Structure 1
C-alpha cells in the first residue's frame, strides 16, 4: 500500500500514513493526537520550512495580517474550506506582520493571498477574499 508523509499539526512529528480516499481515524505516532484535525495552523519560518520539506500533501497557505479587514472576513471561509480536506491538504496561516521574511520570500504584495504548494513548489495562487465554496474549488483542482 502506498504511503504519504504527513507532519502532525500538534507536535511537528512526521508520520507515514497509508493513502486512502477517506480516513475514519488517524493518530500521530509521536504525540498520539488526531491527524484529522483540520483547523488551519499558524506557522513561522521554521515550521513552514519543516512542512515544505516533510509533508507530501497539498499545502494551502493564507498570507494575512490582523489589521486587514478582507483577511479577517475570509478567515471563517478558510476554516470552513479546511474542514473538507482532512489528511488531503494542510491549511496554514502566515501572519505577514510577524513573519515578514516569508511574505518577502514569496513576493506577497497584497493580502489576503492564498498560495497552494505541492512538493515544495507553488502550483497556484489567488489574492483577495473568497467565499468557502471558491476556496474549496481552488483546492480540489490541485488534489
Structure 2
C-alpha cells in the first residue's frame, strides 16, 4: 500500500493514517491522543466492531467471549500475549457476547471462545475453542495468508 494505511483508534473510534516514517507501536490518535497500539486487546461493542472491520486497512482479529465462559477466561492471558506479538501488523480485539449479543448472532457464532479474522470488511477465517498464545498467533497468520 503506497499511502499511509488507515487504523481505527481503539479508544475513541477515530480513523488515523498510520505514519510510515515512524514505528507503528509509537503512533498516537490524532483525536484523543492515546496510543493506537498498547499491547492489550481492544474492548469493542457492536459499533466499535463495525468501525474496526469496515474502516481499518489492518486485519482485525476478534475474540468473541463471555464472562461466564470458563474456556474464555482460561484463554484470556494467552490472547493478551498473542496481542503483543501480532500488533501492530493487525488489530487485536475482544467482544463480550453477553453484553453485546447482536454481532455474535449476526455472525452466526454458536460457541465461544470464537476467533474471527477480518480484513477489508470481510471474514477471512474463524476458529472456536481455547488456544494457547502460540496457536493463536499461528492460526491468525495462517488465516491472513489464506491457509
Structure-1-length-normalised TM-score? 0.91
Gaps of 5+ in 1: none
SS state at 2:64 partner: strand
TM alignment of 1:42-61, pairs within 5 A:
42-61=43-62
2:120 is aligned to 119
Q: Provide the C-alpha distance between the structure 2 equivalents of 1:54 and 1:15, rounded to a whole number of angstroms.
A: 10
Runs (4+) of structure 1 exceeding 2 A deviation are: 18-24
CA distance in 2, matches of 1:20, 1:72: 38
**Deviation of the 1:23 alpha carbon:** 3.4
Distance 1:124 1:21 in 2: 30
Q: 1:56 to 1:24 in 2, by over 3 A?
A: closer
- Stretch of structure 1 that moved more, 74-83 or 20-29: 20-29
Distance 1:30 1:111 in 2: 34
CA–CA distance in structure 2, aligned partners of residues 20 and 117 of structure 1: 26
**How large is the RMSD of aligned CA atoms in angstroms?**
1.8
Give the structure with the higher percent helix.
Answer: 2
User: How far is the alpha carbon of 1:8 from its aligned partner?
Assistant: 0.9
Q: Structure 2-normalised TM-score?
A: 0.89
In 1: Cα distance, 2:105 partner to 2:34 partner: 33
Unaligned residue ranges in structure 2 (runs of 5+):
none
- Pick which of 13-22 and 71-80 moved more: 13-22
Shift of 1:136: 0.8
In proportion to residue count, which structure has more strand?
1
Q: CA deviation at 1:12?
A: 1.3
Alignment of 1:84 with 2:88, yes or no, is no
